[in-house]
Amino acid sequence: MSRILFYLDGYSHDVWREAFRAVDPSVEFRGFPDWGSPDDGPAYAFVWEAEPGLLKRFPNIKAIFSLGAGVDHLMRDPDLPKDVPIIRMGDDGLKEGMAEYVLMSVLMHHRQMPLLATAQSKARWQRVFSRPARHVRVGILGYGALGKCAAEALKPLGYNIAAWSRSPKPAEDGVQHFTGEDALNDFLARTDILVGLLPSTKETEGLLNFDRLSRLPEGASVINAGRGTLIVLEDLIALLNSGYLKGATLDVFPEEPLPADSPLWHQEGLLITPHCAAITRPDTAAEYVVRNIGRIEAGEVPENILDLGRGY
Amino acid sequence: MSRILFYLDGYSHDVWREAFRAVDPSVEFRGFPDWGSPDDGPAYAFVWEAEPGLLKRFPNIKAIFSLGAGVDHLMRDPDLPKDVPIIRMGDDGLKEGMAEYVLMSVLMHHRQMPLLATAQSKARWQRVFSRPARHVRVGILGYGALGKCAAEALKPLGYNIAAWSRSPKPAEDGVQHFTGEDALNDFLARTDILVGLLPSTKETEGLLNFDRLSRLPEGASVINAGRGTLIVLEDLIALLNSGYLKGATLDVFPEEPLPADSPLWHQEGLLITPHCAAITRPDTAAEYVVRNIGRIEAGEVPENILDLGRGY
């Protein structure tokens, strides 16, 4: 029997309790604030944006599972226990959702939907011609598990795909790899539709500034489904307004929810989605957590364990 | 050497002339109005919305190629030669374009982009949860070459796919087939996202009226990328306004261009594209025409030859 200390503010815990029961009825599910006493013995934390200091007060936590692929919400806790393994979410539902979102967004920019949405708002029948997919160069910026799934979803359509990552990745068919900061500008220069899937770290904050975005060819589009800190938004807006960039889709923002008075909502050529590209699904996430608790109990290494040195 | 009599109003013929030259330099390309004399000997017509009576005046035309998959533009000519084979466009560019468009549109309705577009216009951060693709039932209404390509593009995402056609199709993995008018209501009742790909014929005109559309489950979405005559638009609008249907994407209309004063432009939940789902591409179309001229000259049956009894 494993005990799970669950934290997710603003949502009912019932669907999560049921999901764990369906996977393993022996799991004891405790939703915050009913975590019981810190002395209750071994437990696993499964949290999203838990209040700072909370995890430290439960010294018997054996591992911390993040409810999302990002762990920046944990890193912001100055009292985060240092010796407890942290496991990022990697459930199949999250991967499927991201693959769908990236495929949809790439198709929308390839087929010029932002321009057609503007035309519709002006009651204008504006014929557009789009290039064949094999002449459209998609660039995936950040090539972890989610980036790889996005590439697999894009491949059947014949897009010309490249991926950039900090560390080298194994060669694969249908994806040209770029590695390290030195290769970033070359990667941007060959990319018509950029897909941001980077985590939030010191290195990625503000990475896509005016200079970097200007390395993209004229008429390029930008999609960000990673973290909102990646892009300097004023620079993106300036390049959209000048017509250098053709369009953008943003799912993530430095401040979420995006404030109602933000001018971004009404920016022409910009599509906004409310951080819903990939939402952790209770059914597949419960399977994932139970499977990895099993690995930990068996003395094995869990999937997607955090590398604290890299910060993701 | 084959002679091609080409008709396409409002567009430069140069790109088409070049495309044929690239495929077969021996082709003699004549763009309207420079078709020469009706006595000039054997020729192939390759036309889109040619003026009525024109084709009849050239008795040496051995076959008529349509520039699009639809042939309703030919059927409207009361003087259409009756004994000349008609060949519908089936080039790979057209199929790729339609597969992209259908995949994009299905993803957009699955991931609730019409609702999110409305939320954006109101500066509203509205979280949405979308079902896993395997719980989304896509129904392809009209299952010819384009419908089949659309299904192949949808399959990798795991959608629950069905197809309806007038005549039986060979069984295939991953697609449930419905055949004939008797099965249409059952097909609609199991369909969350309907994809219209039917040709314009007497049988399909106004097929999707209030009664038929109401057979879809509540919350369903409708995509039409076939012909604009399929849907009774007042009925679609009524069902969108009542909230019974969640959204729609229309690429085709009874009157094109859609008039600027049409209320459709401003209909909430409706996405409009200007008949650009699948545009015939000069390079792949020229290949297709030359290949099928070769078949005709060799006494073989060309691809996609029109069945005049069915009208498509």
Kindly state the tokens that stand for B305: 């030859």
Look up the pTM and report it.
0.87
Measure in Å the smallest separation between the Cα of B280 and chain A Cα atoms.
10
pLDDT for the residue numbered B1: 75
Q: What's the token pair of residue A97?
A: 């959702």
DSSP B57: G
Contact of A146 with A197, CB cutoff 8 Å: yes
Residue among A178, A191, A44 nearest A106 (CA): A191
Cβ–Cβ below 8 Å for A133 and B257:
no
Q: B185 with B57: CB under 8 angstroms?
A: no
Residue with tokens 């249409």: B184
**Domain segments of chain A: what residues?**
3-91+280-297, 93-272
Does B275 qualify as catalytic in the annotation? yes
Catalytic residue among A13, A73, A177, A275: A275
Cβ-proximal residues to A305 (8 Å cutoff; 6+ apart), any chain: A85, A86, A87, A88
Task: Specify the pLDDT at position B93.
Answer: 87
Count Cβ atoms within 10 A of the Cβ of residue B12 and give its class: 0-12 exposed, 13-18 middle, 19 or more buried.
Answer: exposed
pLDDT tens, residue order, chain B (312 aa): 799 999 998 788 999 999 999 999 999 999 999 999 999 999 999 999 999 999 999 999 999 999 998 899 999 999 999 899 999 998 888 899 999 999 999 999 999 999 999 999 999 999 888 889 999 999 999 999 999 999 999 999 999 999 999 999 999 999 999 999 999 999 999 999 999 999 999 999 999 999 999 999 999 999 999 999 999 999 999 999 999 999 999 999 999 999 999 999 999 999 999 999 998 888 889 999 999 999 999 999 999 998 766 666
Does domain A3-91+280-297 match CATH 3.40.50.720? yes
**How many whole angstroms separate alpha carbon B286 and alpha carbon B165?**
29
Q: What is the ipTM of this complex?
A: 0.87
Q: What is the pLDDT of residue A289?
A: 97
Helix intervals (H) in chain B: 14-23, 72-75, 92-110, 113-121, 145-154, 184-189, 210-215, 233-241, 282-297
Pairwise CB contact (< 8 Å): B157 & A103: yes
Which of A25, A33, A23 is CA-nearest to residue A54? A33
Residue A23: per-residue pLDDT: 96
Q: Within 13 A of B223's CA, how many CA atoms are on the CB side?
A: 28
Chain B interface test: which of A125, A136, A159, A253 (most B C-beta within 10 Å): A125
Contacts of A124 in chain B (CB under 8 A): 260
Beta-carbon separation of A100 and B110 below 8 A: yes
A281 part of the active site = no
What residues of B are in contact with residue A257 (Cβ under 8 Å)?
125
Check if B3-91+280-297 and B93-272 are the same fold: yes
pLDDT by position in tens, chain A (length 312): 799 999 998 788 999 999 999 999 999 999 999 999 999 999 999 999 999 999 999 999 999 999 998 899 999 999 999 899 999 998 888 899 999 999 999 999 999 999 999 999 999 999 888 889 999 999 999 999 999 999 999 999 999 999 999 999 999 999 999 999 999 999 999 999 999 999 999 999 999 999 999 999 999 999 999 999 999 999 999 999 999 999 999 999 999 999 999 999 999 999 999 999 998 888 889 999 999 999 999 999 999 998 766 666
Predicted pLDDT at B311: 65
Q: How far is B102 from chain A (nearest CA, A)?
A: 10
Domain A93-272 fold is Rossmann fold (3.40.50)
Nearest to B141 by CA among B72, B208, B232: B208
Cβ atoms of A238 and A245 within 8 Å: the answer is no
